[in-house]
Amino acid sequence: QEEEEEEEEERKTKKETEKKKETEKKKVKEEEKEKEKEKEKEKKREKENKKKKKKKKKKKKKKKKKKKKKKKKKKKKRKKKKNKKKKKKKKKLKEKKVKEKEKDKEEHDEEEEEEEEEEEEEEEEEEEEEEAEGEEGEGEGEGEGEDEGEGEGEEEGEGEGEGQREGEGEGEGEREGQREGEGEEERRRRRRRRRRRRRRRRRRRRRRRRRRRRRRRRRRRRRRRRRRRRRRRRRRRRRRRRRRRRRRRRREQLIQRERKKK
């Protein structure tokens, strides 16, 4: 019996040991499975992370490209605006030049017309003076003829009667009245001519003064415009030089920083 009991106990112990071994094996297998699962999870995570990183990089690249495109578009727009402004300025300058040329032409034409008018007035004055001289000569000739007629009438009337002498006296009185009337008319004519001459001289002086003033104003305006243009050109040159210097300095500083980093 004792032997049987011992054998049973041994059997029990063996069974127990086998069970334990099996349980241990199962545990080991389960642990290995869990480890494999965890590894697979980690691999999946890594893959997902890599994908996410790639997506982020792509997004960043896209953003950068978009930014670059936007910058390029902005630069193009700026250039277009600048070109439009330049074209407008050029058009305005051309229009100003055309207007100035037209004004100069008009003023030149006005001066020529005024000179022609002055020449015509001078010619008219000369003609009037010649006519006045001719009228004065005719008046003198008429006076001499009247004097001769008077002398002849007196000589013939000496041999005639007293009635004829009275008639001649009346004729002489009428002739003297005519001479006085003609003298007054000539004085009036001379006065009128003098007044006309004075007026024309004044007009000429005024016109000459106006021309001189206009010429002076034109010269001053042209000088001022030239000075302004020169100043603007100098300012633009200075600004361009300053910008170029700044750009060069910035480039040199960037190059030095990159070298230091390397």
Tens digit of each residue's pLDDT (9 = 90 or more) over 3-46: 777 788 888 888 888 888 888 888 888 888 888 988 999 989 89
Range of the domain at 120: 88-131
pLDDT, position 193: 81
242 has a pLDDT exceeding 70:
yes
**pTM score > 0.75 for this model?**
no
Mean pLDDT, residues 72-84 = 81
The reply to whether 161 falls in a domain is no
The reply to whether 106 falls in a domain is yes
For 60-73, the three-class secondary structure string (H helix, E strand, C coil) is HHHHHHHHHHHHHH
Q: Do 163 and 149 meet the contact criterion of CB atoms below 8 Å apart?
A: no
The reply to whether 253 falls in a domain is no
Contact residues for 125 (Cβ-Cβ < 8 A; gap 6+) = 196, 197, 200
pLDDT, position 137: 53
Instruction: Tally the domains of the chain.
Output: 1
Most confident by average pLDDT, 118-127, 210-219, 226-235: 226-235
58 has a pLDDT exceeding 60:
yes
pLDDT, position 52: 86
Residue carrying the six token digits 């920083």: 257
The reply to whether 125 falls in a domain is yes
The reply to whether 117 falls in a domain is yes
The reply to whether 102 falls in a domain is yes
The reply to whether 35 falls in a domain is no
Confidence of residue 241 (pLDDT cuts 50, 70, 90): very high
The reply to whether 92 falls in a domain is yes
